[in-house]
């Protein structure tokens, strides 16, 4: 993927979320659609991260010794218990680098 494509996708996602979720805009959408849009960020994050975690050069990584999978699991556990974004990111990165070292 090129940087232009990544920036374009980021702009599209931001524009859609801003347009539909900004309360000061006069655009009103049904509650069901508003609730569905609140799931777009986790869905996009999973769509971006899953291939990195599970695939290596187009082939499935071996699960028992996959540091990306263990790093993702540890990151989820850290994020659940820490509840502070910056601390969770730093601890998750530290855990991932310790797994790869």
Determine the pLDDT at residue 80.
Answer: 93
- pTM for the model stands at 0.62
**Residue 60 contacts residue 29 (beta carbons within 8 Å):** no
Determine the pLDDT at residue 1.
Answer: 58
- CA dist 92 → 15, 43, 64, 73, 78 (Å): 29, 20, 19, 10, 7
Helical spans, DSSP H, in 22-59:
31-37, 40-54
Question: In sequence order, what are the beta bridge partners of 60?
Answer: 55
Interatomic CA distance for residues 60 and 18, integer angstroms = 36
Determine the pLDDT at residue 58.
Answer: 83
Q: Which residues of the chain have pLDDT under 50?
A: none
Interatomic CA distance for residues 85 and 44, integer angstroms = 18
């Amino acid at each position: 993927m090129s940087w232009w494509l990544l920036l374009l996708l980021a702009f599209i996602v931001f524009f859609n979320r801003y347009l539909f979720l900004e309360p000061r805009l006069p655009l009103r959408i049904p509650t069901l659609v508003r609730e569905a849009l609140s799931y777009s960020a986790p869905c996009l994050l999973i769509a971006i991260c899953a291939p990195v975690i599970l695939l290596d050069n187009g082939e499935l990584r071996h699960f028992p010794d996959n540091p990306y999978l263990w790093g993702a699991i540890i990151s989820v556990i850290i994020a659940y218990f820490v509840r502070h974004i910056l601390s969770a990111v730093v601890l998750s990165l530290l855990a991932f680098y310790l797994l790869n070292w």
